Amino acid sequence: MKCERFKTSYLLPTTLYLFGSFIDKAGRFAYPNHMQQVFYVIVAYLIGSIPVGVMLARLKGKDPRKTGSGNIGATNVMRTAGRALGIATLIGDIAKGFLPTFIAIRLGMPGEIVAVIGLATFAGHLFPVFLKFRGGKGVATALGVYLAVAPVAIIPCFIVFVVTLLVWRYVSLGSLAGAGIVPFAMYALKVPVEYVWLAIVIAVFVFIKHKDNIERLIKGQEHKISS
């Protein structure tokens, strides 16, 4: 864990340097050049790599990677370290998907670059450099990305998630259903095509990362939420 803290300590100065490079002499945000865009993608990946769940669970001397499902996401942190830290993990994972993507949009970057930045942030959560590329399943971080690029598309996905959760009481099944419907919701709402493709790629990886959950669902061995 000391190694993880040492690595994450570089994020703040790196991010401040990045954003400082976007400010012109008049103190206004300036459109980033190509090298700055590449740098931003790298920083977005590093932000996505921040192991929020692991860091918060450590406050109670727990490690979600060694208990429950072994996942670093909010659901397993809630099982491992309590409801409060589970909720905090959810908020943190959403925030790290939202902030880099939203700032890229505010900087006026092209949609294609914004999509790459959103994907980089998502990939950081799935394959975090700070945890030897063994990360979470990406649902909350993907939600943060979607809140930045197409917040309206979240509404039907949230409805599907809630209905699935209430009927079958499987968080994983609700997450899969919600992730699967996002590209269709974006297409129906005429969201820019680059974001539709982003949602398709994210959905594919969400399903891949839920492979074990899918197997347990088929066998009837998946954990249900308590009533």
- My answer on whether 24 and 67 are in the same domain is yes
Domain boundary residue, one of 119, 149, 179? 149
Tell me the two tokens of residue 204. Answer: 């594919």
- My answer on whether 141 and 191 are in the same domain is no
- My answer on whether 184 and 126 are in the same domain is no
List of long-range contacts for 78-85, beta carbons under 8 Å, 24+ apart: 81/56, 81/57, 85/56, 85/57, 85/59, 85/60
pTM exceeds cut of 0.85:
yes
User: Would the pLDDT of 20 be above 90?
Assistant: no
- My answer on whether 94 and 130 are in the same domain is yes
Domain boundary residue, one of 86, 114, 149? 149
pLDDT of residue 6: 43
SS3 state at 130: helix
Outline where DSSP puts E strands in 147-208.
none
- My answer on whether 162 and 197 are in the same domain is yes
- My answer on whether 131 and 167 are in the same domain is no
Q: Which domain holds residue 188?
A: 151-227
Q: Using an 8 Å Cβ cutoff, are 86 and 78 in contact?
A: yes
- My answer on whether 41 and 92 are in the same domain is yes
Least confident window among 15-29, 67-81, 177-191, 203-217: 15-29
Per-residue burial over 135-158, b = 16 or more CB atoms within 10 Å of its CB, e = otherwise? bbbbbbbbbbbbbbbbeebbebbe
| pLDDT tens figures, 91-100 | 999 999 999 9
Chain-wide mean pLDDT for the chain? 88
Residue 223 — very low, low, confident or very high, per pLDDT cuts 50/70/90? confident
Number of separate domains in the chain = 2
Ramachandran region, residue 222 (left: φ > 0; alpha: ψ -120 to 50; beta: rest)? beta
User: Would the pLDDT of 22 be above 80?
Assistant: no
pLDDT of residue 34: 77
Domain boundary residue, one of 149, 171, 199? 149
Tell me the two tokens of residue 81. Answer: 């370290």
User: Would the pLDDT of 30 be above 60?
Assistant: no
| pLDDT tens figures, 129-150 | 999 999 999 999 999 999 999 9
- My answer on whether 89 and 187 are in the same domain is no
